[in-house]
Structure 1
């Protein structure tokens, strides 16, 4: 399996400045933002009773 990751702003040339600003304002400091904006693979589930190890 091949995993390809890329941050949202790596593709900034394909997003309008308004779209970039909206995404950052909405998601910058959220868990979803870490996943979608920063291309971070979040394996743990918030609120889960057990953790993956």
Structure 2
């Protein structure tokens, strides 16, 4: 039982971590900190910066 539970928790954590980037899942304290460093978020930031550069 214990081995199964540990495996389950590891898988769950891995799933959680992989879904943190979209910010839809686990919209808690942890997401906000991680969002700054996700690939997706950086792409958004770069896009916004580019737009601002074009506008100004």
Instruction: Answer 1 or 2: higher relative contact order, Cα 8 Å, separation at least 6.
Output: 1
- TM-score w.r.t. length of structure 1: 0.26
Give the helix-richer structure, 1 or 2.
Answer: 2
Larger Rg: 2
